């Protein structure tokens, strides 16, 4: 430029000429960005809470429905009455188990069930229960019977069994034997147990005609009949239980006999295991 038209300098910033901030400019945008970013944790938290509530609702729904479904299947498989009382409990978180198609553990219990003519309480826990068909990984539990039902279990023994009275840990078997055409009342106190799936009764004391006698005296007095009364009895009861159930233990508790059982996992798919077992013929 020529000296006739000199360029004038910009005035210095001072209180008379403040710098104006344009609304919506870079500073405002930078200030708003953190506010928008702060909303995301809350959104994620809400999503997590909703998903958790849905999972809980699904778990509660499964727990409400599953017992009825399992009960129906068990009643049908074992040919039990339609009104059979049966409590069903599943353990652990069920939704992942349902997705995987197998329940880790299932507990079944009833105060009274009749199987093959024997009535008692049952308490069984099944492991690895398939939901799309197949065998159980295994199952075990107890069957509890009273004195009258235990008497029925002893029907094939050589002992005179008209009735049984429990006196833990023993049981007293009472009946009569024929001696010279006369019915002689006899009571034998035995300790019950299980050997190789069979009941075993070990005599502890014998009363003949109300008189307590030792084993030698009984044999001398009653001969072969006395020998049968004093020997340990082994009784097969497999024909009174489904073939897929094996007894593994027995103890007298109060007025009940508690029988430990092992259940073949294939009992749910193999009809033959649901039928009565067999005993060797003597």
Note the pLDDT tens digit of each residue in 84-143.
Answer: 899 988 888 877 887 888 888 889 999 999 987 889 999 999 998 887 778 889 899 999
> What average pLDDT score do residues 139-161 get?
90
Note the pLDDT tens digit of each residue in 221-273.
Answer: 778 777 888 889 999 999 888 899 999 999 999 999 999 999 999 988 898 99
Q: What is the DSSP string of the chain?
A: --TTSPPPPPPPP-TTSPPPPPTTSHHHHHHHHHHHHHHHHHHHHHHHHHHHHHHHHHHHHHHHHHHHHHHHHHHHHTT--TT---EEEE-S-HHHHHHHTEEEEEEEEEEEEEETTEEEEEEEEEEEEESSS---SEEEEEEEE-HHHHHHHTTTSSS--SEEEEETTEEEEEEEEEETTEEEEEEEEEEEEEETTEEEEEEEEEEETTEEE-HHHHHHHHTHHHHHHHSPEEE--GGGSBTTEEEEEEEEETTEEEEEEEE-GGGGT-HHHHSB------
Note the pLDDT tens digit of each residue in 29-63.
Answer: 555 555 555 666 766 666 666 655 555 555 555 55
Predicted TM-score of the model (pTM): 0.74
Q: What is the pLDDT of residue 168?
A: 92
């Amino acid at each position: 430029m020529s000296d006739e038209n000199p360029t004038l300098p910009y005035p210095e910033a001072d209180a008379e000429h403040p710098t104006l901030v344009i609304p919506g400019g870079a500073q405002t945008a930078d200030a708003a960005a953190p506010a928008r970013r702060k909303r995301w944790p809350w959104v994620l938290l809400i999503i997590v809470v909703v998903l958790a509530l849905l999972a809980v609702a699904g778990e509660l729904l499964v727990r409400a429905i599953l017992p009825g479904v399992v009960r129906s299947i068990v009643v049908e498989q074992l040919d039990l009455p339609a009104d059979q009382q049966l409590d069903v409990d599943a353990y652990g978180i069920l939704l992942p188990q349902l997705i995987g198609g197998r329940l880790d553990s299932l507990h079944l219990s009833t105060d009274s069930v009749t199987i093959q003519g024997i009535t008692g309480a049952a308490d069984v826990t099944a492991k690895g229960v398939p939901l799309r068909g197949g065998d159980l990984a295994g199952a075990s539990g107890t069957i509890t019977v009273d004195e009258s039902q235990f008497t029925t279990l002893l029907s094939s023994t050589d002992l005179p069994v008209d009735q049984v009275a429990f006196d833990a840990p023993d049981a007293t078997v009472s009946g009569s034997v024929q001696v010279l055409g006369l019915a002689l009342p006899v009571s034998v106190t035995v300790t019950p147990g299980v050997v190789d799936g069979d009941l075993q009764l070990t005599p502890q004391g014998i009363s003949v005609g109300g008189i307590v006698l030792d084993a030698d005296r009984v044999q001398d007095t009653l001969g072969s009949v006395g020998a049968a009364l004093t020997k340990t009895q082994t009784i097969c009861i497999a024909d009174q239980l489904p073939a897929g159930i094996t007894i593994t233990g027995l103890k007298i508790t109060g007025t009940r006999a508690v029988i430990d059982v092992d259940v073949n996992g294939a009992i749910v798919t193999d009809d033959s295991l649901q039928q009565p077992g067999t005993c060797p013929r003597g």
